[in-house]
């Protein structure tokens, strides 16, 4: 049974004071809760401070992006070793805003995955189709390609450090979430692709988060849908009033209590 995981992607929002206050609020409320993995994903410049604010708590801190190179003359970039150095334990890669606003290819995403693993960081690999792709019935082709190319060269022993986030582009920041059935369908499909890339056991262990307009109103239905193992939350993660109810969404099925 896979443990539920809820992460808040703050994107390019908040200021230093707001970031610290939000991290402290999440920490205070999550306390030592162990039945859900909780993480926050601040902008690079607030990572160190947020990681300090979360030190000693079970709430993890991740980065929104990472450079595809290990170090050197890459002005403006931030490498995996630096993220680790300031207290991040994972990074998002292939977020739709990186793919669609900044033109990141599957090959670039794969390089980022490799750099994170080399530095001992965990990976949240984001995949998802556009509305046009969904209408053209290409959802499966697109997410299979993103998953397969994103994980190219990743050895089976690194798999415990990989989480996948299914984030349909049309659902991100639009208030139009995928239905629990739509999410389940794609998650099940991704699990099948993953099983073909690795094996059945790895595929059963893989955590797949859903992202795209998750809110307190729809969190329980989405989080309890078959094959949905958590949520990657954008807008609703910026306020305690909307993030905490998602973390605390009631469960319809038994899950691990480590």
Stretch that binds ligand PGA, among 49-57, 151-159, 180-188, 227-235 (CB under 6 A): 227-235
* Local structure of residue 66 (DSSP, 8 states): -
Nearer Cβ to ligand PGA (173/196): 173
Go through 206-216 and write b for each residue having 16 or more CB atoms within 10 A of its CB, e for each that does not: bbbbbbbbbbe
Instruction: Report residue 237 as tokens.
Output: 């993660």
The catalytic position among 97, 129, 167, 187 is 167
| Residue 49 annotated among the catalytic residues of the structure | no
* Total number of residues that touch ligand PGA (CB under 6 A): 13
Write the CA distances from 140 to 4, 34, 76, 95, 225, integer angstroms: 24, 34, 35, 17, 19
- Asked if 163 is part of the footprint of ligand PGA (rule: CB under 6 A), the reply reads no
| Residue 187 annotated among the catalytic residues of the structure | no
Residue facing ligand PGA at closest CB distance: 234
- Report the nearest approach of ligand PGA to the CB of residue 211 (Å): 4
Torsion of CA 220, 254, 10, 52, to 10 degrees: 150
* Local structure of residue 152 (DSSP, 8 states): T
**42, 150, 212, 230: which one binds ligand PGA (CB under 6 A):** 212
**18, 120, 173, 196: which one binds ligand PGA (CB under 6 A):** 173
The catalytic position among 95, 97, 129, 133 is 95
Could you write out the DSSP letters of every residue in 93-142? ES-HHHHHTS---HHHHHHHHHHHHHTT-EEEEEE---HHHHHTT-HHHH
- Report the nearest approach of ligand PGA to the CB of residue 234 (Å): 2
**235, 244, 246, 247: which one binds ligand PGA (CB under 6 A):** 235
Instruction: Report residue 45 as tokens.
Output: 């410049």
- Asked if 172 is part of the footprint of ligand PGA (rule: CB under 6 A), the reply reads yes
Q: Which residues are catalytic?
A: 95, 167
Give residues in contact with ligand PGA (CB under 6 A). Answer: 9, 167, 172-173, 211-214, 232-236
């Amino acid at each position: 049974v896979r443990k539920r995981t809820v992460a808040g992607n703050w994107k390019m929002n908040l200021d230093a004071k707001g970031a610290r206050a939000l991290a402290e609020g999440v920490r205070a409320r999550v306390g030592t809760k162990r039945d859900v993995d909780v993480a926050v994903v601040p902008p690079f410049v607030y990572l160190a401070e947020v990681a300090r604010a979360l030190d000693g708590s079970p709430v993890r801190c991740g980065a929104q992006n990472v450079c595809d190179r290990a170090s050197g003359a890459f002005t403006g970039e931030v490498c995996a070793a630096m993220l680790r150095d300031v207290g991040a334990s994972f990074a998002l890669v292939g977020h739709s805003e990186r793919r669609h606003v900044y033109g990141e290819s599957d090959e670039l995403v794969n390089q980022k995955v490799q750099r994170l693993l080399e530095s001992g960081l965990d990976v949240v690999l984001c995949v998802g189709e556009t509305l046009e792709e969904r209408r053209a019935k290409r959802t499966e082709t697109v997410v299979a390609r993103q998953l397969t190319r994103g994980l190219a060269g990743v050895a089976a022993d690194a798999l415990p450090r990989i989480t996948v986030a299914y984030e349909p582009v049309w659902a991100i920041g639009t208030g139009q979430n995928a239905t629990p059935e739509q999410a389940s369908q794609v998650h099940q499909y991704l699990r099948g692709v993953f099983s073909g890339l690795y094996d059945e056991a790895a595929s059963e262990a893989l955590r797949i988060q859903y992202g795209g307009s998750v809110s307190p109103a729809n969190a329980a239905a989405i989080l309890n849908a078959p094959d949905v193992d958590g949520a990657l939350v954008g807008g609703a993660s910026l306020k305690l009033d909307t993030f905490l109810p998602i973390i605390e969404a009631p469960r319809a099925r038994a899950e691990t209590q480590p």
